[in-house]
Amino acid sequence: MGIYAVTGSASGMGRAVTEQLREAGHTVIGVDLEEADVVADLSTGHGRTQAIRAVLESSGGRLDGVVLAAGLGPAPGPDRPRLIAQVNYFGVVDLLEGWRGALAAAGGAKVVVFSSNSTTTTPAVPRRTINAFLAGDADRAVKSVRLFGKVAPSIIYAGSKIAVSRWVRRTAVRPEWAGSGIRLNALAPGAIMTPLLEKQLSTPSEAKAIRSFPVPVGGFGDAEKLGAWVVFMLSDNADFLCGSVVFVDGGSDAYFRAGDW
């Protein structure tokens, strides 16, 4: 049985993964703002350092897998763009850098990062936003999407997820990762029924945009089933999966990008 860390373990898809791993007999160290084994705020450098340390202590310095599900959706709010940038990008990258040694120690560890199909379906995300994230500059990333004094939450959200997907692909193939037996991949869901989506659907303007978005199979995805995808990506069956971004989105990515490859 393995030892896993799951961020965002208190709700939605992170919670579903946590429950499924525990039911299978694994040990899970959950990380979240509340109701978790490790309570930490991943929107701050201090909180991320606390989470890294606490998980390394509880796991004894060996992790068979990690799931990065903590994230914030593209809701409006004055401080929201900064929080989205901090949690969705740095809350993944900083933690994985801090845990790399523990993952290597397991020899065959698996990592699943939550991306989103907004990466390929959101138009006009500036290249400079992605570059700012990859350069580690959250302030510049947020400023880069400011138009007429305002930041569109959907653009910084998609930017954070594009950047994290690109980081996954670049990092997964490095000798310190692939060569240490670590399999690093991303899952890119479409609209999945979780508290995050429920909140968006309770705002009329957001609900209209979500309901009119093309989803070829119709409806919304199920958090438990997405959890099962993650569990599969953590299993030995995924040994040959490296640097992939797996879309589970009811066909929206295919609908928009059928001719891309």
CB of 210 to ligand NAI, least distance (A): 9
Examine residue 32 and tell whether it contacts ligand NAI (CB under 6 A): yes
> In 3D, which of 111, 92, 1, 110 has the Cα closest to residue 52?
92
Site string for ligand NAI, 189-228 (x = CB under 6 A): x-xx-xxxx-------------------------------
Stretch binding ligand NAI (CB under 6 A), from 53-61, 98-106, 142-150, 184-192: 184-192
List of residues 6+ apart from 38 with CB closer than 8 A: 29, 30, 31, 32, 50, 51, 54, 55, 58
Nearer to ligand NAI by C-beta: 95 or 103?
Answer: 95
CB 22 within 8 A of CB 2: no
State the virtual CA torsion across 125, 77, 202, 254 in degrees, nearest 10: 10
Nearer to ligand NAI by C-beta: 27 or 229?
Answer: 229
Q: Is the dihedral of CA 187, 208, 138, 166 positive or negative?
A: positive
Examine residue 55 and tell whether it contacts ligand NAI (CB under 6 A): no
List of residues 6+ apart from 25 with CB closer than 8 A: 1
| Residue 157 known to be catalytic | yes
The residue count for binding ligand NAI (CB under 6 A) is 26
CB of 175 to ligand NAI, least distance (A): 28
- Secondary structure element (H or E) that encloses residue 130, with its range: helix 127-134
Examine residue 243 and tell whether it contacts ligand NAI (CB under 6 A): no
CA-to-CA separations, 79 to 27, 144, 209, in angstroms, rounded: 35, 15, 22
Examine residue 12 and tell whether it contacts ligand NAI (CB under 6 A): yes
Name the catalytic one among 4, 89, 157, 255. 157
Q: Which residue of 69, 85, 95, 184 would you call a contact of ligand NAI, by CB under 6 A?
A: 69
User: Which residues would be at the binding site for ligand NAI (CB under 6 A)?
Assistant: 8, 10-14, 32-33, 41-43, 69-73, 87, 114, 116, 189, 191-192, 194-197
